Structure 1
Amino acid sequence: MLSQLFQPKLLSSLRGYSRQQFGLDLAAGLTVGVLALPLAMAFAIASGCSPSSGIWTAIVAGLLISLLGGSRVQIGGPTGAFIPIVYGIVTVHGMGQLQAATMLAGAILLLMGLSRLGQLIRFIPVTVVIGFTNGIAVVIFLAQIKDFFGLPVAQVPAEFFQRAQVLLQAAPQFDLVTTLLASGCLVFLLLYNRLTLFLPWLARIPGPLTTLVLGTLAAIVLDLPVATIGSRFGGISAELPAPALPSISLHHIGALISPAITIALLGAIESLLSARVADGQIDDQHDPNQELIAQGLANLCAPLFGGIAATGAIARTSTNIRCGGRTPIAGIVHAVVLLLIVVVAAPLAAHVPLAVLAAIVMAVALHMGDWAALRELHRYSWNYRSILLSTFILTVLFDLTIAVEIGMVLACLLFIYRIADLTRLELLTLPSSASPEISAWRLSGSLFFGAVNKIEALIQPGLAQKKVLILDLSQLFQLDTSGLEALQNLQRQLHKQGCQLLCCGVLPQPASLMQRSGFTQQLGAQWLSPDLHAALASAEQYLKQELVGIAL
């Protein structure tokens, strides 16, 4: 049983593994490892944590996700999507509580994977995914304003309106040197792909790394008076942190459940989305449940080494694929490369300006948003626009948890409305030879709790003056208990008014529910016909018997 649940892609990838593929995985791992360094530091700082926490997250979580994951090419680590969530938890509860919430989220992800719930993530509507992704991108961008402009703000609030007020009050005190350095780095990074057309050798070096090196050199050579990792955090330690459980009291657990669920949900969505995108690039199919198991274990272990929340990173995974990585070995190499960089070059990180890292994160935010979806909203239905915009606005102004919850509720309500709207009740035209005491109606679609009002029209006194009402259910593909109750009520009301209900053409699913509930016995087998033609014959026979009874 355990062997069926736990099947990392690493095991199947090593079958027939060649020296040539190892060379490609090694080159890809080196490239992604170098790329991950500035991103890990930048995401951690933007989240209100130390740069070391981001690096150790990339090392520990990245290693476990590659070792145990369900994708051959997934690269794991801290991502920009977690910035607003992590920042909010750190601001309100502190670093220890963040690590506890991350471990709780890891346990949730692990249980989701073991329970085979990986496929359920795909039921989240694309409108909700686009809405919160774009919302997160805006929140990430706005969160970098302090370091981008060098504003003298000790602590930026996590809540949107308070943050906006604090930043606006500090705006006149922006630092010109910091702003120029950050602006130059941002423009350089946004134009990086175009620069590679004129300088092809640049294409071999990740844009964020080039920006980090050039921005840091500019600050050192020109002796710019800007804030650095060293001035704010005291640098990065080259020593491996000793594993330690976060300190947390029991009365804090309740407050951390909601953030933990948010971390788990976002981590599951982003990792499986990344794996799905990667599948299309390498013509493979990931195991979503195994991927959730790996994500869960990664988020359980990373906080033990001072790390933060981690998931699959789409940008680093795509870079891995472009560089030739095709097995989890590339992801393992990426983690080892990061570890070696920390051991060898940790002291150099103290000179990295925070403005450069802010520019890198801003560029990531601009690239992660699906802005074309907002530009093309006018092409889509009102339902699509309302769900996407609601999720987007709520993510920016309030909280990702609230945004996803309301987005999902809206999506469900609008889906119910749409399905109910597809349920049709139409009057059928009977042959001229049919008795005028017979009326026939066809009910099509789905008779569920959202559409039961559709058959209330059949209880109108004018319609019940007929002696027999035939209800053709040959196009009713789904019936729930609320719909069944509506049918039972229809049968009772018609019976009180002297009208007999006759159902025909009942499909398997409605027939099964009608049988199990006892409605078939209540109605009577003689009032169930295989099709409309047989129903008309039964109705005519019933009316003849009624006439005979009256005559006698």
Structure 2
Amino acid sequence: MSYNPLSLKLPGIATGLRSAWREGYGLDDLRKDAMAGLTIGILAVPLSMALAIATGVPPQHGLYTAIVAGIFIALTGGARFNVSGPTAAFVAILFPIVAQYGLGGLLIASMMAGVILVAMGIARMGRLIEFVPYPVVLGFTAGIAVVIAVLQIPDFLGLTVDNLGEHFVENLGRIFTALPTLNPFELGIGALTLIVMLLWPRLQLPVPAPLVGLVVGAIAAYGVNQWLGGMGAEVETVASRFTWEINGETGNGIPPIAPTFTVPWLLPGPDGEPIELSFDLVRALLGPALAIAMLGAIESLLCAVVADGLTKTKHDPNAELIGQGIGNIVAPLFGGITATAALARTATNIRSGARSPIAAVIHALVVLLAVVALAGLLGLVPMAALAALLFIIAWNMSEARHFVHTLRSAPPGDVAILVICFGLTVFFDMVLAVAVGIGLAAALFIRRMALLTRTDRIDTDNHPTIHGLPAKVAVYDINGPLFFGAAEKALTSLHLVDPKVQIIIINMHGVPSMDGTAIVALRSLIDEMQRDGIALILVGLPARIIVKLRRAGIRKTRGMLTYCRGLQQARDVALAWHRRRNDIEAQSNSMK
């Protein structure tokens, strides 16, 4: 049969939407989706603003992300309940990109990450999340949470501080130096918002706590600015910090305009001038784009796995990667920043009764309505209140209880990986943390597997199958996979056989696999044994491993090397070889 690469079946798209449609979708399902979409849309408005500001860009770009990416990812992805938009996990990656390359550079990097995500989906890398160990995920998410919290301290305290940079320690130094500029009114607004958001869930009312907290904070800030503003007690708001200019129109806060098509490389770079698209820029952004794609894949697939557990459904991981990629390619063309599935919004979506991806589409339309109709009111939100909201997001993201529990109960190797990933994320960056974490986890796994592989000599006198063998025949049993971390250890004991032994039976029923290193080590052992006149009988190897050994030149040699299916056959072969050797030795002695 000829092989045609064009016959490969590519992963589908919109499988989440199609699976909901196949199960039957009626007016009652639409009503449930509408209510869920309204709920998460109300929640997404303040979150999108806060996360955009934390990233270092004006708040409308977070809203545009929720609108555009939210629609495209929902309609093309492979998960029925994922709700996508800006997320806290990206702050630690995107903030340095904005500082170095500006808004234009961030949008270009997001588009590049989208292309990488589509390629990952087409390459069927949707099972990526299964190969990232839990201590690595917990370590870098907790580290990101710390970075997010530290970045909010200036707004929460009302500090007058220079622009924060890429490095955690430098930012801490700038914040500490600026502490004398603390604004008690900003601190009061932030603390009030934080207390309201923490206490509101106890009332068990259907209105989201972030919305209530920001409304209370905005009212308090408005009162302070109106009645005490003349005495220098001003509270900074979204409108007082951010300005916009579109098609000759200018204003403060958020533009009351729907997302419009824009070319990312015409947007400002770090110096405020339009960034120029060039090969050097693309090459410089390739590393950040890979980091964005990797984190986006991990977070979206993890979110889909959690949603499957809550709803007893099954997502299509490859289609979800393609959908996330499409969303991140399209959103920057309308001013949106990086997007991925958001776990908190997805869980709220499910608890609110969502039935299909239509709920995520309606959530995006609710955000669009807020931008067009309520932009003026959104501008009244104080920066300290948004900082309080991000404190709560950071706390929830840190999973502090799981972090402490893992430190107390996990094996020492896993604890070391957790602490190292956490430290590298905080003091360096997430990409380095994940790379080092996965490398350490792989090394730890190899060590553990190597400890499981062992070689033991069998006492033949009391064995039911191979009893009665002469002293010149030794039997060894190897259990566990033979790979580069275990092969040398497992085969070393075979080099130390009794000098009287002439035939060795190696029982390999417990060897499920062998890699190239193990085959080379076995070949070296066979060569050494044959030089010493010792014959080998390999027992119980699967046919696929025997084929590998034959390809490596380890073939049957009369009287010196053979393969047997079981120990009984090996015993018979060993006895026959032993008799033949005795006969040859007797003939040799008689000739003397």
- TM (norm. structure 1) is 0.95
Q: Write the deviation string for residues 33-70 of structure 1: whole angstroms up to 9, x where unpaired.
A: 11100000000001101101100001000011111121
Task: Find the aligned partners of 2:558 and 2:420 in 1 and give their Cα distance.
Answer: 47
Given candidates 398, 405, 410, the residue that maps to 2:435 is 405
- Contact 2:535–2:559 under 8 Å retained in 1: no
More displaced, 4-13 or 41-50?
4-13
Task: Find the aligned partners of 1:8 and 1:121 in 2 and give their Cα distance.
Answer: 19
Q: Using a 3 Å threshold, how does the CA distance of structure 1 residues 109 and 535 change in structure 2: closer, same or farther? A: same
Shift of 1:165: 1.2
**Structure 1 equivalent of residue 20 of structure 2:** 13
Shift of 1:533: 2.6
Task: Find the aligned partners of 1:320 and 1:216 in 2 and give their Cα distance.
Answer: 26
- Contact 2:482–2:513 under 8 Å retained in 1: yes
Given candidates 272, 293, 296, the residue that maps to 2:325 is 296
**Structure 1 equivalent of residue 363 of structure 2:** 334
Count matched residues. 546
Task: Find the aligned partners of 2:51 and 2:488 in 1 and give their Cα distance.
Answer: 52
- Contact 1:455–1:486 under 8 Å retained in 2: no
Matched AA of 2:394: A
Shift of 1:461: 5.3
Tell whether 2:546 aligns with 1:511: yes
Task: Find the aligned partners of 1:482 and 1:94 in 2 and give their Cα distance.
Answer: 49
What SS does the corresponding residue of 2:476 show, helix, strand or coil? Answer: strand
Matched AA of 1:150: G
**Structure 2 equivalent of residue 245 of structure 1:** 263
**Structure 1 equivalent of residue 336 of structure 2:** 307
Given candidates 408, 420, 423, the residue that maps to 2:453 is 423
Shift of 1:308: 0.7
Shift of 1:149: 0.8
Task: Find the aligned partners of 2:319 and 2:326 in 1 and give their Cα distance.
Answer: 11
**Structure 2 equivalent of residue 75 of structure 1:** 83
- Contact 1:74–1:274 under 8 Å retained in 2: yes
- Contact 2:300–2:340 under 8 Å retained in 1: yes
**Structure 2 equivalent of residue 153 of structure 1:** 161
Matched AA of 1:315: A
Tell whether 2:283 aligns with 1:254: yes
- Contact 1:477–1:509 under 8 Å retained in 2: no
Shift of 1:339: 0.8
**Structure 1 equivalent of residue 513 of structure 2:** 478
Q: Which runs of 5+ in 1 are unaligned?
A: none
- Contact 1:33–1:335 under 8 Å retained in 2: yes
Task: Find the aligned partners of 1:69 and 1:14 in 2 and give their Cα distance.
Answer: 14
Shift of 1:484: 0.8
Shift of 1:261: 1.0
- Contact 1:83–1:140 under 8 Å retained in 2: yes
Q: Using a 3 Å threshold, how does the CA distance of structure 1 residues 353 and 365 change in structure 2: closer, same or farther? A: same
Shift of 1:374: 2.3
More displaced, 243-252 or 381-390?
243-252
Matched AA of 1:421: L
Tell whether 2:313 aligns with 1:284: yes
Shift of 1:512: 3.2
- Contact 2:190–2:384 under 8 Å retained in 1: yes
**Structure 2 equivalent of residue 141 of structure 1:** 149
- Contact 2:453–2:486 under 8 Å retained in 1: yes
What SS does the corresponding residue of 2:291 show, helix, strand or coil? Answer: helix
Task: Find the aligned partners of 2:468 and 2:380 in 1 and give their Cα distance.
Answer: 95
Counterparts of residues 27-38 of structure 1 (less than 5 Å): 27-38=35-46
**Structure 2 equivalent of residue 322 of structure 1:** 351
Q: Write the deviation string for residues 290-311 of structure 1: whole angstroms up to 9, x where unpaired.
A: 1111100110011111111100
- Contact 1:458–1:490 under 8 Å retained in 2: no
**Structure 2 equivalent of residue 457 of structure 1:** 492
More displaced, 297-306 or 237-246?
237-246
Tell whether 2:296 aligns with 1:267: yes
Q: Write the deviation string for residues 298-326 of structure 1: whole angstroms up to 9, x where unpaired.
A: 10011111111100011111111111111
What percent of counterpart residues are identical?
Answer: 39
Task: Find the aligned partners of 1:51 and 1:99 in 2 and give their Cα distance.
Answer: 15
Q: Which runs of 5+ in 2 are unaligned?
A: 1-7, 226-232, 244-252, 266-276, 462-466, 588-592
Q: Using a 3 Å threshold, how does the CA distance of structure 1 residues 481 and 56 change in structure 2: closer, same or farther? A: same
What SS does the corresponding residue of 2:127 show, helix, strand or coil? Answer: helix
Matched AA of 1:310: A
Matched AA of 2:504: L
Shift of 1:232: 1.2
- Contact 1:504–1:530 under 8 Å retained in 2: yes
Given candidates 217, 220, 223, the residue that maps to 2:222 is 220
Q: Write the deviation string for residues 345-394 of structure 1: whole angstroms up to 9, x where unpaired.
A: 11222221100000001111111222122222221211211111111111
What SS does the corresponding residue of 1:240 show, helix, strand or coil? Answer: coil
- Contact 1:60–1:335 under 8 Å retained in 2: yes
Q: Using a 3 Å threshold, how does the CA distance of structure 1 residues 524 and 236 change in structure 2: closer, same or farther? A: farther
What SS does the corresponding residue of 1:390 show, helix, strand or coil? Answer: helix
Tell whether 2:569 aligns with 1:534: yes
Shift of 1:344: 0.8
Counterparts of residues 326-405 of structure 1 (less than 5 Å): 326-376=355-405, 377-405=407-435
What SS does the corresponding residue of 2:130 show, helix, strand or coil? Answer: helix
Matched AA of 2:46: P
Task: Find the aligned partners of 2:189 and 2:543 in 1 and give their Cα distance.
Answer: 69
Q: Which runs of 4+ in 1 moved over 3 A?
A: 1-4, 458-465, 521-526
**Structure 2 equivalent of residue 442 of structure 1:** 477
What SS does the corresponding residue of 1:473 show, helix, strand or coil? Answer: strand
Shift of 1:513: 1.7
Task: Find the aligned partners of 2:439 and 2:308 in 1 and give their Cα distance.
Answer: 30
Task: Find the aligned partners of 1:163 and 1:533 in 2 and give their Cα distance.
Answer: 72
Matched AA of 1:164: L
- Contact 2:115–2:325 under 8 Å retained in 1: yes
Task: Find the aligned partners of 2:123 and 2:554 in 1 and give their Cα distance.
Answer: 36
Tell whether 2:61 aligns with 1:53: yes
Q: Using a 3 Å threshold, how does the CA distance of structure 1 residues 327 and 551 change in structure 2: closer, same or farther? A: same
Q: Write the deviation string for residues 95-114 of structure 1: whole angstroms up to 9, x where unpaired.
A: 11111111110001111112
Matched AA of 2:469: A
Q: Using a 3 Å threshold, how does the CA distance of structure 1 residues 180 and 78 change in structure 2: closer, same or farther? A: same
Shift of 1:498: 2.1
The root-mean-square deviation of aligned C-alpha atoms, in Å, is: 1.8
Shift of 1:457: 2.6
- Contact 2:152–2:391 under 8 Å retained in 1: yes
Q: Write the deviation string for residues 213-247 of structure 1: whole angstroms up to 9, x where unpaired.
A: 11001111232511111111121111234322322
Shift of 1:520: 2.8
- Contact 1:24–1:324 under 8 Å retained in 2: yes
What SS does the corresponding residue of 1:144 show, helix, strand or coil? Answer: helix
Task: Find the aligned partners of 1:106 and 1:301 in 2 and give their Cα distance.
Answer: 9
